[in-house]
Amino acid sequence: MQRSTLSFAAIIIFAVIVAIFVVRKGIDAADELERLDNGAFAVHRTLLAQELDSDDRVPDISNWKIYQNEKYGFEIKYPEGHTLYSSLEQDRLIPVTISSDSVAISVDETQAICCESTSLVIQVGNVTGRELQNPRLQRTGFNNLNVLLLIGEGNLGSVYKILYLKSPSGVWVKIIQNAQSDSLNQILFTFRFIK
């Protein structure tokens, strides 16, 4: 009995040490991003911008619609004829509000309803320390903001890229793009904080 109690105690102590290490790594990644000087990655051409490397691929966005999220202080522009939605419900897109926690846009909205569509999704406050520990995360600049970037495979059921940004109010924002798309890249480059 004594031996099993000691074994159990050793396992518990080991589990606590591992848990502390894992949590600390997530906090370290978040703290590192927060400590970065705002100008450190404020570049006009970054890893992300290289996807739009030709001037003829940059559209005229002067007539695009503007969505502003007043609750979280960001805006994004998008072309006429597209719908920003917060979720799907019974085969229909639920439009965003000025305080939506999730904002999505799809290249083909009919695909969003029935299938896996090529989409860009902005999620607010839905970032875990575990996500920030991913060794494949890269620090880079995006629209004069510091971001953590994860480039994925972008095939069915996976992610093409994820951007992690910390808003001026301290709330984490995660932007997910599930496949390469010039039109979604163009929309993504209009994202900015407004508070």
Write out pLDDT tens, residues 94-119: 889 999 999 988 887 766 666 767 88
Calculate what percentage of the chain has a pLDDT beyond 90: 21
Range 2-193: architecture per CATH: 3-Layer(aba) Sandwich (3.40)
pLDDT of res. 42: 32
Beta bridge partners of 126: none
The mean per-residue pLDDT over the stretch 143-148 comes to 84
Per-residue model confidence as pLDDT tens digits over 79-99: 988 889 888 887 788 889 999
Whole-angstrom distance, CA of residue 46 vs CA of residue 138: 12
Per-residue model confidence as pLDDT tens digits over 35-66: 433 333 333 334 455 554 444 456 788 899 99
- 102: tokens are 């999730």
Q: Where are the domains of the chain?
A: 2-193
Distances (CA, A) of 5 to 2, 14, 143, 189: 5, 14, 56, 58
pLDDT of res. 39: 35
Alpha carbon of residue 77 to chain centroid: 16
